[in-house]
Amino acid sequence: MSAEPGGVTAVAHANIALVKYWGKRDSTLMLPATSSVSLTLDAFRTTTHVELLDAPAGRDEVVLDGEPLAGTALTKVLAFLHLVRSQEPRTATAQAARVTSTNEVPTGAGLASSASAFAALAGAAATAYGLDLGRRDLSRLARRGSGSASRSVYGGFVVWHAGDLTDPARGDLTSYAEPLPTAPELDVAMAVAVLDAGPKKIGSREAMAATVATSPYFPAWTEHTEADAAEAADAIAAGDLPRLGEIAEASAMRMHATMLAARPAVRYLAASSLAVLDAVADLRAAGVGAWATMDAGPNVKVLCEGADLDVVAAGLRGIVLPGGGAPHVLLARPGPGLRIEASAALPAGVLASGAAEEPA
């Protein structure tokens, strides 16, 4: 079989969870313990090109930012390509793929995201192998690469449903992301305070598993998160940013509290993170609507109204961090969903069923 010339390029943006995903109920199918809610950003995007090679599957080549990928990251990508090929009717003769990916994340920002990476890979690989997937199935597929990637298939505010909890096969079919109805007047932005990450901490996948296995707070976390996701969706539909901000900050703090209770504790909060959390509280006390969220690292992301972004950024840049110096601050606004661009050489019909650009 000959390779398709040209290949497929897909672009996906990072998303930041406002109601966090922390914990899986099935780590093979990548089913989350709870639903989560996120905002896709216009910054931090991944562009991924997949072309099929005249070589049998097993001879895949993966290049990230100009360097051959290695280690765990490579293992995850190869497993994902295998998954895509296993869904493809021509499995027996499936060809290897060359994956070339670029992350546009400011150097040293520590924000490289598996969400944009696996959303872009899902779009490019599924299309290159001729899978005719709609958005929902692309989200389910991206989920198998990295849970949060299911949400980067869509722009703006997104919910990722936990899905049917009674049975894994039904869960697999019903755990996907979709865009949330959003009040048109809801104008949000995010300032990211980039802090020194120090020595590399435990990765989110391992940290999540340790939390599920050892944190006595995990059942309480799952119990409250489902209600938080529903309330966040209501706030987004109603255009109620203060309510959304409060839920988002509470969800992030509860997630960190839950992992701090693991044994040994999983701790991403740094002294510099606390300094930023204080500054966000000061901004609120001064009447500026600003709410903090944090993920599996020390950086703090601050949700605010679009019109307040400059004031919030100035507030964050004015912080004196415990070790001296101020945080580097990046600005972001809502961004678009997954975009897939196939070469003209692809068979007709490959882009059917909603694989075209998703408006933000």
Applying CB under 6 A, which residues contact ligand DP6?
A: 17, 20-22, 30, 36, 114, 146-148, 204-205, 208, 295-296
Minimum CB separation of residue 114 from ligand DP6 in Å reads 4
> Residue 202 or 351: which CB sits closer to ligand DP6?
202
Minimum CB separation of residue 160 from ligand DP6 in Å reads 8
Minimum CB separation of residue 203 from ligand DP6 in Å reads 8
CB within 8 Å of 300: residues ≥ 6 apart: 192, 193, 195, 273, 276, 277, 280, 292, 293, 294, 327
> Residue 38 or 182: which CB sits closer to ligand DP6?
38
> Residue 195 or 283: which CB sits closer to ligand DP6?
195
Minimum CB separation of residue 147 from ligand DP6 in Å reads 3
Helix runs in 239-341, H state only: 241-260, 271-285, 309-317
Minimum CB separation of residue 166 from ligand DP6 in Å reads 22
Phi, psi torsion values for 229, nearest 5 degrees: -65, -40
Q: How far apart are CA 181 and CA 49, in angstroms?
A: 31
Minimum CB separation of residue 16 from ligand DP6 in Å reads 7
User: Do 189 and 313 form a contact (C-beta atoms < 8 A)?
Assistant: no
Q: How far apart are CA 291 and CA 53, in angstroms?
A: 47
Query: Counting every residue, how long is the chain?
Result: 360
> Residue 22 or 98: which CB sits closer to ligand DP6?
22
- Angle, CA of 248, 208 and 214, to the nearest 5°: 110
> Residue 145 or 336: which CB sits closer to ligand DP6?
145
Q: How far apart are CA 132 and CA 88, in angstroms?
A: 10
Q: What is the 8-class DSSP label of residue 262?
A: S
> Residue 95 or 211: which CB sits closer to ligand DP6?
211
Minimum CB separation of residue 320 from ligand DP6 in Å reads 27
> Residue 7 or 297: which CB sits closer to ligand DP6?
297
Minimum CB separation of residue 244 from ligand DP6 in Å reads 15
Q: For residue 344, count other CB atoms closer than 10 A to its CB.
A: 6
Q: For residue 99, count other CB atoms closer than 10 A to its CB.
A: 24
Q: Which pair of tokens denotes residue 353?
A: 């069923």
Of 41, 42, 82, 48, give the one whose Cα is nearest residue 65. Answer: 48
From residue 178, give the alpha-carbon distance in Å to each of 36, 96, 189, 208. Answer: 11, 31, 20, 23
> Residue 36 or 46: which CB sits closer to ligand DP6?
36
CB within 8 Å of 150: residues ≥ 6 apart: 119, 139, 140, 142, 143, 160, 175, 176, 177
> Residue 47 or 225: which CB sits closer to ligand DP6?
225
Minimum CB separation of residue 149 from ligand DP6 in Å reads 7
